[in-house]
Amino acid sequence: MSPLYALERFDIGIVYLDVERRVVGMNDLARRTLPVEELRPFDRHVLGLHPERSRPKVAFLLDQAAVCPVANPPPMTMIINIPERVLLIKVSRLSDGQAGPSGYVLVFHDITEIVSGELPVKSEEANQPRRLMKIPTASGNQVVLVDVGDVLHLHSDGHYTRVVTAEENRFCNLSISDIETRLDPQRFMRVHRSHIVNLGAIQALVREGGRLVIQLDDGTRTVPVSRTSAADLLARLGMTPTEGSARRQGSLADDT
């Protein structure tokens, strides 16, 4: 099933906000997807629906929809992560009869199934975040799904993440920590607070200025390794050092 067909087939969640961004209504899918019973969001600010780490993104999305100077602007689009789900959100402002602001409509697709694939979930993994098979990246109002097997590494960009393949460097609205929890730990490792690397894409380990650095398969990109991750990385690559050498290898890289 193509991602486009899946989006066309899936129902959409709809949340209505007043001009103060308080929740005033939602459809049945939104009620089922969002933690309505727990948070009781009606007549409360919409940011209360989202985990704290996602609130700056949602606020930015609403701010952009509010100030967009274009008449009849396109919906603003963003991808966010809530527990167990990945949502593609679009926000559009509403106006009254005099073209004054009257609120917002927030529309979302639940794209968890698309980005996670349809792999069976083992019983012991039922309460774990679903593994990403594709990483949703944003370009304007277009969402491009990047196969995780094509990813060389990921690095944080503020609250967001850059997804790097051999051909391109794409922007993802999810934080690097959100993505880390959904990647296969057998294939990917967080080697620095700002970097995750595909272990299969490592070509060499080199020293640069007294620091341990990964050279990737494309030969043009390097990834720093933190002091605290160096020994674990060597072990993952079958280069388990002795206790003494582990301390020396660990001293090669520092957090930046």
Q: Which among 174, 91, 89 has a CA at the least distance from the CA of 132?
A: 174
For the chain, the distance separating the N- and C-terminal CA atoms, rounded to the nearest angstrom, is 43
For residues 65 and 73, the answer to whether their CB atoms sit within 8 Å is yes
pLDDT at 128: 57
Confidence check: pLDDT of 200 > 60 = yes
Residues 244 and 136 in one domain: yes
Tens-place pLDDT, residues 37-72? 777 889 999 887 777 777 787 787 788 777 654 444
pLDDT band at 226 (very low <50, low <70, confident <90, very high): very high
Domain boundary among 114, 142, 161: 114
Q: Got the DSSP string for 84-111?
A: TEEEEEEEEEEE-TTS-EEEEEEEEEE-
Q: Does one domain contain both 48 and 152?
A: no
Tokens 């991808």, located at residue: 79
Q: Are residues 52 and 165 in the same domain?
A: no
| pLDDT tens, residue by residue, 151-193 | 999 999 887 899 999 988 999 888 898 889 889 999 999 999 9
Position 243 confidence tier, pLDDT thresholds 50, 70, 90: very low
Final residue of a domain: which of 114, 146, 174? Answer: 114
pLDDT digits (tens, 9 = 90+) for 73-129: 444 566 666 656 777 788 888 888 887 888 999 888 777 777 766 444 443 444 556
Task: Read off the pLDDT of each residue in 198-226 and give the average, rounded to a whole number.
Answer: 87
Burial of 184 (C-beta count, 10 Å sphere; 0-12/13-18/19+): exposed
Residue type, 47: L
Are residues 208 and 154 both part of a single domain? Answer: yes
Q: Please tell me whether residues 162 and 234 are part of one structural domain.
A: yes
DSSP strands (E only) in the chain: 13-17, 23-26, 76-82, 85-95, 101-110, 134-139, 142-147, 151-157, 160-165, 169-172, 188-192, 195-198, 202-208, 211-216, 222-224
Reported confidence tier of residue 8, pLDDT bands at 50, 70, 90: low
As for how many domains the chain has, the answer is 2
Question: 59 and 104 in one domain?
Answer: yes
What is the domain range of residue 8?
Answer: 3-114
In the predicted model, what is the mean pLDDT of residues 233-254?
58
Residue with tokens 């609205």: 173
Q: How far, CA to CA in Å, does 4 sit from each of 1, 131, 224?
A: 8, 20, 37
Residue 255 lies in a domain: no
CATH number, domain containing residue 212: 2.40.50.1020
Which of 56, 89, 114 is at the close of a domain? 114
pLDDT value at residue 29: 84
Same domain, 36 and 65: yes
User: Same domain for 225 and 158?
Assistant: yes
**One-letter amino acid of 110:** D
pLDDT over 60 (residue 2)? no
